[in-house]
Amino acid sequence: MESTSEMQRGVENPDIIDLITPDPTSGEVVLLIIEERPWGSDKNQLVQFDEKLNRYLAYILDGFLGRQYPQYENTPVRIQIDCVDEPTDERSLRFLEGVGMVCEQNGIGFRVRTV
């Protein structure tokens, strides 16, 4: 039986916030999404990203982050995707550009990082 800490993290599980961590360099609190699959490797990948990102946005914008973690109440927030390779296909790039615009419109930082 899996414990909560062993539940599948990543894009494929929209019910889990993969990681919440402060970034002492930027002063932001980072909500991390982990993607271990290469970009474009699954036909449902962008749909899964969309669902997970919408959950993250709701968690932030509806005030749940501040209620669960009062120390982050007035802290700038960034959503960050850590992935195994850089997105290069046009469909993924357009999707991520749109995500960045939505985040910016809501005062949320956004970054994609290859790790």
Which pLDDT does position 8 carry in this prediction? Answer: 86
pLDDT tens digits for 22-36? 999 999 999 999 999
Tokens of 62: 């509806």
* Average pLDDT, integer, range 79-90: 95
What per-residue confidence (pLDDT) applies to 4? 44
Q: In Å, what is the CA distance from 101 to each residue of 21, 33, 104, 105, 111?
A: 23, 18, 5, 6, 11
The answer to whether 92 touches 46, Cβ cutoff 8 Å, is yes
Model confidence, pTM = 0.91
Structurally, the chain folds into a number of domains equal to 1
Domain holding 38, by residue range, is: 4-114
CA–CA distance, 11 with 36 (Å, rounded to integer): 9
Which 8-state DSSP code applies to residue 108? -
* Exposure string for 27-46, b = 16+ CB within 10 A, e = fewer: ebbbbbbbbeeebeeeeebb
